[in-house]
Structures are given as C-alpha cells and as structure tokens.
Chain A
Amino acid sequence: MTTEKLYFYPVWLRVWHGFNALGILVLIVTGISMQWSIDSPLINFSLAVKMHNIAGVVVSIGYLLFFAGNLFTVNGKFYRVKPKGLGKRLVRQARYYLCGMFKNEEPPFPLSEKRKFNPLQKYSYILVMYLLMPLVVITGLALLFPELIIEEVYHLSGIFLTAVFHSALGFLISIFLIVHLYVASIGKNPLKNYRSIVTGWHEINH
C-alpha cells in the first residue's frame, strides 16, 4: 500500500477555515444563549449580544475572503455544479455511507488531485457556502441595522421575520456542523482529516 500526500488546503483556506470555525462556534453558543434573552442559563445576555455581533462580523469578512479565494484561485473548481448525473452520484455516495463502507467496499469517488470532495460533501458545501452562508450574513447584517429592514410584510413585522429566518438559517448551519464534524472522522484513522485541515496535507492510501 502506498501513501500519496496531496496538498489539499492552501494557507489562505486554512486560515479562513480556522477563523470561520471559531467564529461559527461562538455564534452558535451565543445564538442559542440569546434565545432565552436575559434569562439565559449560558451567557449573560448583553455579553452574548456583543460576542455574537463581533463573531458575526468576523465570519462575514471571512466569508468574503473565502468567496474571493474561490473566485481567484484554482480552489474554486471544486465548487462547480455539474448537474449531469448529479442525482445518481449523490445516491451512490449516500449508499456507500449507509451500507457500502460497512461491507468494506471501496469508496465510489476516491479523492485525488482532481477530486477534493466526494459528491455529497461537495454539494453540501456548495449549499452551505453559497446559499445558507450568504443568507445568514445578509439577515445578520440587517439585524445589526434594524432600521433598514422593511417595517411590515403582509402585516408581519419585517424585523420579526428577519430574526426568525436568521435563527432558522443559523440552526441549519449548526446541524451542518454536527454532520461535518462527524463525517470528517470517517476513514481509517478518525483523526486524519482533522490533521489535514491544520497541516494542509491530505494522505491518500492506495
């Protein structure tokens, strides 16, 4: 068995990923805490608001970095949607996760220099990074400047709708995080992927 080392994660990506991970964790904890407003058992309300605002701005700026990085470097090619046969690819990968891997089958989409993510991984990242993240950033910024929000939408408070939408998006991103962290542990060595995102090098066993 040979081990091939691929440089998957360039420095800018790892720096972004680090800041983003920390920021998102702060956002989730403070976001949950704020649900109880000042009766929160977790973090003092005004501190939670302050932390949430700061972390939100950090993650928003980070998102711009990520967006620019994918726009101007080769990393962007891993995020291109290829609709042809997409459903089939997703099902194959899901099948592997649900039963193939327990039968010691080979992964249907082995990673290589050309393929950094398996299809499920790729499209969940696209969904989160190009749909949920922009929406959560926009609604978050709107809530920082609530006077900009439309006052009433069909007799519902615009701020109320934005807040609920923002929380719902935040919740979905939290669920993504749980799955993201778990799936990263799948592999021969559960810690391998965590190490890769720190060092930048991904090991592939042939």
Chain B
Amino acid sequence: MAGSPAGTSSGFDTPSFLISEKMLNLIRNVFAFVLLVVSLSVNSQESRPLSEGALHCLTCHGNQTYTLQNPWTGQEEKRLMNPYFIIDTTHYRTGVHRTFSCTDCHATDYETYPHAAELKLEPLSTCLDCHGGDDTYAKYQFERIDEEFQKSVHFVKSGESFTCSKCHNQHYYKPTARTSSTVSEIVSYNNAMCLSCHNNLARFQLVSDQQNPVLAQVHAWLPNQELHFRNVRCIECHTQVTDTLMVSHNILSKEHAVQKCVECHSSNSMLKASLYKYQNLQARSGKGALGAVLQNESYLIGANQVPALKLLSILIFVAALAGVLLHSVFRFTKK
C-alpha cells in the first residue's frame, strides 16, 4: 500500500557511551513517531502527484473539451469530449491507482494521437492480470474473491461481461472499508457501488436484459427502509458472510439474501462479522473505546441485548416478586 509506514529506526546508531539507553529509546520512539506522522499525512493528503503519462492523457481526458488538428480540413477544431471518456481528476487523485500511467492498463498505442479507431476493441487488462498470483496482494486474497464472485448472482446472470470494474471503478476506487474510520462513510461509499447500476438504467442494461428492480419496492417489506439504507451496506444482507474475507463477493439474489431481522438484531449479530469487522478501526483511532466496550455484545433491539442490564433486570424483577411474596406471607400469617 502506498503511504504505509515505511522504514525503521535502524541505521540510527548513536554511540551509547554518550547517551543513556533510556535516552536512546526515547529518540528512537520520537523518530518512529515522526515517521508515522509523515507517512499518515501522506496517506491522508491522498494527493500524490499523478504520473507524467497520466498527466499527458488528462490534458484531453481531464477536460470537457479537446482540441483536434483535423487532417481533412487542416484546421484546428475544438470538440466536446465524450463524457464517458472524461476522467474526474479529483477522484482519480484519491483512487488506489492514482500513481499509474494510463498505458499501464490501456494499450501503449494510445500514446499516438488521434487514437486509432480499432484501439477501442483492445481487450482491457482484467484486475487479476495484476492482482492475481502476486505475493504483494496475497493478503487481499484476490483469487478467493474471484472464486466467491463466480458463485454470485452477478456472475451467474451476466457471466464474464460482469467485470470487477462494474462495481470497483478502476480509475477512482478507494478501499474505504479498510481506510475510513467512520462506519457511515464506509456504508455510503459501498452502497454507491451497488447504486451505480441499480439506480442507473443505462449501466444496468450494460450487463442485464432484465428489468432493473425498483429498490424501494423490492425492499418494501423492510421496516425503516430509509434508515437501513443509510446505516448498513446492501452487502450486509446480500452477501454470504465469510470469516476469512473482508467482504465476501458472493452477492446473493433476493431469494437468498437475509430477511430475518434477528440475523442482525441480536446479540449474535451478523453485523459483527461484516460491517463491524471494521470496528477495529475505531479501536485503532482510539476514539471509540467506550463504544467498543459497550456495544461489543449488543445491537438493537432492546435491553436484553446488554448482558449486564439483562442480569440487573432479572435481579430487580426477582427481588420485587420475592418482596411481594414475603409480604403477603406475613400478611396471612400475622392476621
């Protein structure tokens, strides 16, 4: 990952006879901290300079218009760029592939201009061409993701035409689930991926001849629909949770998706294995220690889901009943 803490304090040798061991440790820690801060700030700025190759292409593809030297008329013409070929540079700069040259994935022939028409037919690299079978990405388990994906409703219904980039826009993709510290950001970013087709007929038709289901209607059964849409990801119900993958890519059809409230609304909430898998993010940021402790065992509905309160309520209830019982026994015996 770009911007991950790099380097250690090795090579920072100070003669130990001048400075005590304690002091040395302190300097080491400070040095490590500074490195961490620098690397984090690089990460948070997320605006590393674009590659020269990309900048070259973006002179046209980063703008609404481009200028063309028309060989037929011999004149310079200004034309509108096809909106589908415009790259949003703001988003590109924060995406995971921001340091890439366009020709890392697109044909190098694109460097000639005007582009040859048949270049449109070039088979684009797939994600696994780079991410598969590479130790650098081993921890993300791309092969397993592919296996899971091939079981998903997307692959079953649309086959190979349903590429990774249908959801993960290769130009802008951010691994929000791993980098964001707020659940709401993770939720909205993730749901936007689903909505990019399920709320966009043109894109939906690219992979399916069926009718795009109206989300509000097919989810009419769901209580507090709007609230759910805002606070949990579609994939919470529409994927099979796996323990070893961050997100299972086996997207489930509505017939197989979760419809039982208790799957999430219980002490054994499924959300713990999915959305709140990222709760460690909170712990990492150090802000949510209280939340992590209190919410650990619980999720709506009701006090029953807080074990300490449940125990307390049982004790109070038993005490009240015992009090009443004891009092009535005295009343009858002392009459």
Contacts and interface: CB of A to CB of B under 8 A. Distances in A.
Nearest to B324: A182
Interface string B278-294: 00001000011011001
B303 interface: yes
Given A38-B260, A151-B184, A178-B324, A163 B302 contact: yes
B184 A156 contact: no
Interface string B243-279: 0000000000000000011100110000000000000
B115 interface: no
Given A147-B227, A163-B302, A155 B262 contact: no
Nearest to B304: A35
A39 interface: yes
A97 B313 CA distance: 24
Interface stretch (B43-51, B65-73, B119-127, B315-323): B315-323
B290 A156 contact: yes
A142 to B, nearest CB: 13
A168 B312 CA distance: 10
A159 interface: yes
Contact of B303 (A35, A97, A151): A35
B180 interface: no
Contact of A37 (B227, B262, B287): B262
A130 interface: no
A69 interface: no
Given A37-B262, A156-B290, A163 B226 contact: no
Contact of A160 (B227, B290, B300, B317): B300
A79 interface: no
B303 A164 contact: yes
A91 to B, nearest CB: 17
A169 to B, nearest CB: 10
B213 interface: no
Contacts of B313: 168, 171
Given A37-B262, A45-B261, A156-B291, A147 B226 contact: yes
A102 B295 contact: no
Contacts of A38: 260-262
Nearest to B293: A156
Contacts of B261: 37-38, 45
A164 B295 contact: no
Given A175-B317, A186-B331, 11 more contacts: A101-B331, A147-B227, A154-B291, A155-B282, A155-B288, A155-B290, A160-B295, A160-B300, A164-B302, A167-B302, A171-B313
